């Protein structure tokens, strides 16, 4: 990857600040590997800023009249990012308390209504990296605003849906539209980091994580209230005003997108040609096909559709060959091969959320069917998980590194998996509450820490796509978890199925600990 740097030929300045770079100083520097890239990111965000003609710093609309830049990462900048980013996790959980009412409304059973969950996960898993790439190429503000338009449209379609098929279309659009916010937000923060000359503060990343965790936690409660007050169509209609508010605030408070050359670190890149070359529509199509086939295979491991492995292998081979031939690939396989720290972050994140979703869906199902608790009581028993996740997402932001929170989170996931094997009909209430806490703490620590790791290891011009791939890994973990739960429980959740799920989760937890402890890249402070 080629970037532009500045070489100080004179005396070292005593104070940091904007400095004009002459023609003799601007020379391309070719760096390779994650270590060199990380050093380059730090030098780019803490060193000299690009100067305009005559040595004057270019005017920034967010600077004062005297040309001095205002402090970055303001509340106005982050508010629309947080509002947009909560829509996806909110809609993944809010529908859980509306499925029965939707089934009654259309005269269908649980097997059919379950597709309302699956179609959102599928759309999100595919759309996150695609829209992340579009944010890198076309600009995050454009993609963020476009996603909110799709969200508003999906809300209207769902509210007025005359048939169940239209409801599936609404959820598909909702998955695509809400997938734009998170990778675009990460890209906006990277641009802001470059503008102010410092890395994105961990508290800002924590607020993004907090918005996702908090909205997912309140989703079932909010969905139940909406269904009770206005009917199941309310869970679709509520997206419209939220999207409109987020759109208006983003339009006013998120700055216009920098030119592609400025964002990629290559100011001499043609402004009109570079985006078209970097979009790679065939790569996007092949990636979407690979992921779609994989998701359909993972959705029903109890009755595996082995024939899907053939198109999966063909599409994967075609994707790899095409990406290796492209100068600007959609998925930079060479970058991932040369940046194993980022690849390990994706693997760690996917395995972590596989374990977390096993509890979020599998443990709650056992509480209702195995122990006989009502939905309301089950929600109260899961309250420690939500509270601990929210608190630890903020705590994780205050740590100076990411290795310790990830190790603690991995150990607690493994301990929680072991506790699942001890539960039964006579288990005291205190231990049931402890299980939720054991999985809530790592949910907060791991989410924030892996988010920071992606920010640190991803190439500057590809942060949107990198953040999208992180979410894809998370959704693949969720889909795999649902299949493991179905394998363990069969037709009904019982003690034997819970213990089997706990043992499988324990094995994965040990592997997660080993993956985290042996990762040398985590020993650097981020």
DSSP string of 281-295, one letter each residue: HHHHHHHHHHHHHHH
pLDDT per residue as tens digits for the range 310-357 = 999 999 999 999 999 988 888 888 888 888 999 999 999 999 989 988
The per-residue pLDDT for 259 is 67
Which residues of the chain are in CATH 1.20.1250.20 domains?
76-262+275-280, 331-526
Strand ranges inside 16-98, DSSP E: 26-30
What confidence score (pLDDT) does residue 56 get? Answer: 38
The secondary structure element, H or E, covering residue 158 is helix 140-160
pLDDT value of residue 260: 55
Q: Over the range 4-35, which residues count as b (16 or more CB within 10 Å of their CB) and which as e? A: bbbeeeeeeeeeeebbbbeeeeeeeeeeeebe
User: What whole-number distance in Å separates Cα of residue 170 and Cα of residue 397?
Assistant: 35
pLDDT at 524: 65
Structure tokens at 86: 């909560």
The predicted pLDDT at position 10 comes to: 38
CA distance 381 to 436: 7
pLDDT value of residue 397 = 64
Between CA 144 and CA 162 the distance in angstroms is: 29
- Predicted confidence at residue 463, as pLDDT, reads 79
Q: 347: Cβ–Cβ under 8 A, 6 or more apart, which residues?
A: 473, 515
CA separation for the pair 339, 326 (Å, rounded): 18
- The full length of the chain comes to 526
* Regions of the chain with pLDDT less than 70: 1-71, 110-111, 259-278, 375-376, 396-397, 491, 524-526
For 425-463, how does the pLDDT look when each residue is reduced to its tens digit (9 = 90+)? Answer: 888 988 998 888 888 888 888 888 888 888 888 887 777
| Both structure tokens of 471 | 């979410």
20 CA to centre of own chain: 37
CATH architecture of 331-526: Up-down Bundle (1.20)
Q: Tell me how far the alpha carbon of residue 197 is from its chain's centroid.
A: 25
Residue 33: HSE in the Cβ half-sphere, 13 Å Cα cutoff? 4
Judge contact between 367 and 433, C-beta under 8 A. Answer: no
- Residue 327 to residue 388: CA distance in whole angstroms: 45
Could you tell me the two tokens for 515? Answer: 């993956």
Q: From residue 411, how far is each of 350, 364, 449, 507 by CA, in Å?
A: 16, 22, 15, 12
Phi first, then psi, for residue 27 (nearest 5°) are -140, 140
pLDDT of 302: 73
CATH code that applies to domain 76-262+275-280? 1.20.1250.20
Strands 2-6 and 26-30: what pairing? Answer: antiparallel
Q: Say if residues 509 and 439 touch (Cβ distance below 8 Å).
A: no
Report the distance separating Cα 327 and Cα 391, nearest Å.
Answer: 44
Question: For residue 257, what is the DSSP state?
Answer: P
- pTM score of the predicted model: 0.69
Cβ neighbours around 446 below 10 Å, total:
32
Residue 138 CB contacts under 8 Å (≥ 6 apart), including other chains: 257, 275
To which residue do tokens 């982050």 refer?
A: 78
């Amino acid at each position: 990857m080629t970037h532009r740097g500045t070489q100080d030929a004179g005396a070292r300045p005593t104070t940091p600040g904007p400095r004009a770079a002459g023609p003799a100083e601007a020379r391309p520097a070719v760096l390779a590997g994650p270590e060199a890239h990380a050093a380059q990111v730090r030098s780019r965000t803490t060193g000299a800023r690009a100067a305009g003609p005559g040595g004057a710093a270019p005017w920034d609309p967010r600077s004062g009249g005297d040309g001095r830049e205002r402090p970055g990462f303001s509340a106005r900048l982050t508010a629309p990012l947080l509002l947009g980013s909560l829509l996806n996790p909110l809609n993944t959980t809010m529908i859980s308390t509306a499925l029965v009412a939707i089934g009654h409304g259309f005269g269908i059973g649980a097997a059919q209504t379950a597709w309302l969950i699956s179609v959102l996960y599928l759309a999100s898993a595919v759309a996150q990296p695609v829209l992340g790439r579009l944010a890198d190429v076309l600009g995050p503000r454009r993609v963020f605003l476009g996603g909110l338009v799709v969200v508003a449209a999906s809300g209207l379609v769902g509210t007025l849906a005359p048939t169940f098929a239209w409801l599936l279309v609404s959820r598909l659009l909702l998955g695509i539209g809400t997938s734009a916010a998170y990778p675009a937000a990460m890209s906006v923060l990277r641009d802001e980091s470059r503008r102010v000359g410092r890395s994105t503060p961990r508290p800002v990343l924590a607020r993004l994580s907090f918005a996702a965790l908090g909205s997912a936690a309140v989703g079932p409660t909010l969905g139940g209230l909406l269904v009770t007050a206005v009917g199941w169509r309310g869970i679709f209609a509520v997206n419209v005003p939220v999207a409109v508010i987020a759109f208006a605030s983003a339009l006013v408070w998120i700055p216009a997108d920098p030119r592609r050359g400025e964002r990629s670190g290559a100011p001499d890149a043609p402004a009109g040609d570079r985006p078209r070359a970097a979009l790679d529509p065939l790569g996007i199509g092949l990636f979407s096909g690979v992921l779609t086939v994989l998701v359909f295979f993972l959705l029903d491991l109890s009755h595996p559709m082995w024939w899907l492995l053939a198109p999966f292998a063909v599409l994967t081979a075609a994707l790899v060959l095409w990406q290796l031939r492209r100068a600007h690939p959609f998925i930079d396989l060479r970058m991932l091969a040369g940046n194993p720290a980022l690849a390990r972050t994706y693997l760690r994140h996917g395995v972590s959320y596989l374990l977390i979703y096993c509890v979020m869906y599998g443990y709650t199902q056992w509480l209702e069917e195995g122990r006989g608790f009502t939905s309301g009581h089950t929600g109260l028993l899961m309250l420690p998980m939500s509270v601990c996740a929210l608190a630890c997402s903020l705590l994780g932001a205050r740590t100076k590194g990411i290795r310790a929170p990830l190790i603690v989170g991995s150990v607690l996931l493994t301990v929680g998996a072991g506790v699942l094997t001890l539960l039964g009909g006579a288990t005291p209430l205190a231990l049931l509450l402890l299980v939720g806490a054991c999985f809530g703490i790592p949910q907060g620590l791991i989410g924030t820490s892996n988010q920071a790791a992606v920010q640190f290891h991803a190439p500057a011009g590809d942060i949107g796509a990198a953040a999208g791939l992180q979410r894809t890994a998370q959704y693949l973990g969720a889909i795999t978890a649902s299949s493991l739960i179905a394998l363990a429980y069969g037709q009904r959740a019982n003690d034997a199925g819970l213990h089997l799920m706990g043992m499988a989760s324990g094995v994965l937890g040990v592997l997660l600990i080993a993956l985290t402890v042996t990762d040398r890249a985590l020993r650097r402070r981020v």
